[in-house]
Amino acid sequence: MSNILVLADHVGGTVRKTTAELLTIARRLGEPVAVYIGDGVESALPALGQYGAAKVIALTNPELSQYLVAPKAEALQQVAQKVEPTAILISSSSEGKEVAARLAVKLESGLITDAVDVQSGDGGPVTTQSVFAGNYTVQAKVTKGTPIITVKPNAVTPEAAQTAGTQPEVEELDVSISDVAKTARITASRPREATGRPELTEAAIVVSGGRGTGGDFGPIEAFADSLGAAVGASRAAVDSGWYPHAYQVGQTGKTVAPQLYVAAGISGAIQHRAGMQTSKTIVAINKDAEAPIFELVDFGVVGDLHKVLPAATDDVKNRKG
Amino acid sequence: MKIVVCAKFVPDATADRRFRPEDNTVDRAGVDGLLSELDENAVEAALAIKEAGSGDGPDMEVTVLTVGPEQAADAVKKALQMGADAGVHVVDDAIHGSDAVATSLVLAKALGKLEPDMVVFGMESTDGTMGVVPAMVAERLGLPALTLGSEVTVDGSTVRIRRDGDASSDTVEGTLPLVLSVTDAANEPRYPSFKAIMAAKKKPVQTWALSDLGASADEVGGSVAWSRVTGVTARPPRTVGTIVTDSDGTGAAQLVEFLSTNKFI
C-alpha cells in the first residue's frame, strides 16, 4: 500500500483537530505516515494512532523551531525521499501553506492549497476547493510529481481508524538543515492568550460582530458562550481596534465554514462574505433591512443586536437549564 | 537600497469573476481588473521604508514588478501613482494559465535581473488566495523570507517583523537581501494625490517578454502547469431564508426557536 505523508499540526504535543482530519483523509488514499516536528511525540502518539497513523517519524532538531518555515520544508523533503509517499497532506495554516510551497519547488511537484475535500481518483487524489469568495467550487488534480495538498479545517469529520488502539511505530530521524534555511530567525515568541473558546477555524458555531456592535463585543461574546461558539469579527470591527486581528473573518482574515454562522451588526460586504459564505447555516441580526447579509441568511432578524442578543442569550441559557 | 514590490493584477472582487470555459483557467482579460488590494499594503510598506530612510544605503528606490496580461499595466500604474519610482511589466501570451510554481519561476528570473536588496509581497492575492508565491520565490532565490509581517522595522541591513500565528505572535529577524511579505494589518495604504497621479505619467516602465528573462515558453503557462482544474461549478444561490423584524420585540424568541428547531441548542 502506498504511503501518504501527513504533517502533524500540534501545540506542544497536543494534536490539533486538523491533524485527525488529515489522517482521516489520508486513509482514503493509502497508508498514513505522520511526521511530527518538535518535542513531546509520546504525548501525541495515542491521537495519531487513533486516526490511523501506522508510523510516526519524529524530528527533534532544534533548528526546526528556531527559524521560520524553511527548515521544516528541508526536513520534509528528506522524509519524502526516504518514505517515497504518493501524496503529502498538510493543514492549511499560514505556516502549513508556506512549508507546502517550498516543498513543491524542492520536489518539483504540483501544489493544491485550501482543499475542502480530497478523494481518491484515477491517477491520484482529486481535490475540491471553494474559490472566488465561495461563488465557485472547483475540482483539481496534481499532474506532476508527488501531489502536495493543503487541507482546510473542517474538510471532514475525523473518524477513528479500525486499527485504533494500536500504538504507531515511531522512528526518530535526524535531518540536516542547510545554512540557507537558517536565515529567518525567530528571536521571540509570545503565546496567544487563551480565550477558553473553540478555535475560530475549527468551531462548529461562530458568532461574529461588526460595525453594528459600536465597539462593544460583550453581547457577541455572551451569546457565543451560551452556544459554546467561537467569536469572530468583521474587518470593520478589527480596523476600528474593537477586536484583535487574529479573529477577523473574511478575505484577509480567517475563512470559516462552521455548521452555524451568526453575523451580528455585519453588513455583509464581499470582503466578509469571502470568509463565511460556505457556512452550512447562516443567521444575521442587523438594524438595516437592506443589508446584503440578508441575501445569504437562512434566518435573519431585522433589529438592534444590543436588544436581540442579550434576550436570546438569556433564552438559550434558560433552555439549557 | 533597491526595493522591488511584486504586485498582481486581479479580477475585481466586487464584479463578476469567472473561469474560461475552454481551459478552466481564470478569465483575466475579459473582466474588470485592478491592483490586488493586499498588494497595496506591500507598496505602502516599501514606500514607508524608503521614506523613513532607515534602510541600508542612501539611494532608496522602489520598483514595482508585475507579471500579467496587457491590462496588468493598470496595476503598475496604480503603484506608480502611490509613489513607486519605476515599473517592470512582464507580459507574454505564453504565461497565461501558469500555476503558482511557474509564476514564482517568472518572478525569480525577473528579480534575478533587477537584483534588489529587498523584495516585498502582499500576504496573498485576492483571486487565487494561495499565499504561497513569496515562499516559493524565496526558495528559488535562496533568500531569507520574513513572511506575513504585521509590523515591520528596518534598521540598516537588519529587518524585523511581528508575525501573528495561530498559536503565538513571533518576532522574526533577517539580514538583507531578503524577501518580505506584509499582511493587511501592517499599514494603511495611501490614496494617490492628484499631483502624484500626474507625476506617475512620467515614471519609467519597462516591458519584458519571457525571452528577456532567459525563460522559455515551455516552462510556463497552462499546458505545463503542475496542477490542473478539472471541473468548475458555480455555487447555486442560497435559497432566501426567513427574515423577521424585532419591531414587536419577539426577534430574540424567534431566533432562539429557529436555533432550537435546527438542533443548535
How many Å separate Cα A61 from the centre of its chain? 25
Distance CA(A92)–CA(A97), nearest Å, equals 6
Chain length of chain A: 321
* Residue A119 confidence (pLDDT) above 80: yes
Of A223, A249, A222, A224, which Cα lies nearest the Cα of A236? A249
Listed in sequence order, the residues at least 6 apart from B93 whose beta carbon sits closer than 8 Å to its beta carbon are none
| Grid cell listed for A196 | 477558553
Chain B residues in contact with A286 (beta carbon < 8 A): none
Q: What is the mean pLDDT of residues A159-172?
A: 89
Distance CA(A87)–CA(A25), nearest Å, equals 11
Q: Which residue of A has its CA nearest to B245?
A: A302
Chain A residues in contact with B245 (beta carbon < 8 A): 289, 301-303
B238·A295 Cβ contact <8 A: yes
| Grid cell listed for B175 | 539580514
Chain A residues in contact with B139 (beta carbon < 8 A): 70, 73, 101-102, 105-106
pLDDT tens, N- to C-terminus, chain B (265 residues): 999 999 999 999 888 888 998 899 998 878 889 999 999 999 999 999 999 987 777 789 999 999 999 999 999 999 999 999 999 999 999 999 999 999 999 999 999 999 999 999 999 999 999 999 999 999 999 999 999 999 999 999 999 999 998 788 999 999 999 999 999 999 999 999 999 999 999 999 999 999 999 999 999 998 889 999 999 999 888 888 999 999 999 999 999 999 999 999 9
Three-state DSSP state, B59? coil
Give burial (CB, 10 Å; 0-12/13-18/19+) of A65.
Answer: middle
* Residue found under cell 499546458: B223
Tell me the pLDDT tens digit for each residue of A28-54. 999 999 999 999 999 999 999 999 999
What is the model's pLDDT at position B13? 85
Say how many CB pairs under 8 Å bridge A and B.
264
* Residue A177 confidence (pLDDT) above 80: yes
Per-residue pLDDT band for A167 (boundaries 50, 70, 90) equals confident
Distance CA(B171)–CA(A198), nearest Å, equals 26
Q: Check: CB of residue B174 under 8 Å from CB of residue B144.
A: yes
| Grid cell listed for A177 | 538543515
Distance CA(A213)–CA(A217), nearest Å, equals 6
What is the model's pLDDT at position A166? 82
Q: What is the mean pLDDT of residues A296-305?
A: 97
What is the model's pLDDT at position B167? 81
What is the model's pLDDT at position B158? 97
DSSP strand E in B86-216: where? 86-90, 118-122, 145-155, 158-164, 168-175, 178-182, 205-208
A102·B183 Cβ contact <8 A: no
Tell me the pLDDT tens digit for each residue of A270-279. 889 989 998 9
What is the model's pLDDT at position A140? 97
Chain length of chain B: 265
Q: In this structure, how many other beta carbons lie within 10 angstroms of the beta carbon of residue B12? A: 15
B259·A131 Cβ contact <8 A: no
What is the model's pLDDT at position B235? 87
Give burial (CB, 10 Å; 0-12/13-18/19+) of A51.
Answer: buried
What is the model's pLDDT at position B59? 83
Distance CA(B119)–CA(B138), nearest Å, equals 9
A70·B139 Cβ contact <8 A: yes
* Residue A308 confidence (pLDDT) above 80: yes
Distance CA(B127)–CA(B141), nearest Å, equals 25
A97 → closest Cβ in B130, B138, B171 = B130
B171 → closest Cβ in A94, A130, A188 = A188
Of A285, A139, A313, A110, which Cα lies nearest the Cα of A221? A313
What is the model's pLDDT at position B30? 80
ipTM of the complex as predicted? 0.94
State if pTM tops 0.80. yes
Distance CA(A29)–CA(A124), nearest Å, equals 8
Mind telling me how many Å the CA of B74 is from chain A's nearest CA? Answer: 21
| Grid cell listed for B61 | 528606490
Give burial (CB, 10 Å; 0-12/13-18/19+) of A183.
Answer: buried
Chain A residues in contact with B151 (beta carbon < 8 A): none
| Grid cell listed for B19 | 473561469
What is the model's pLDDT at position B113? 97
What is the model's pLDDT at position B142? 98
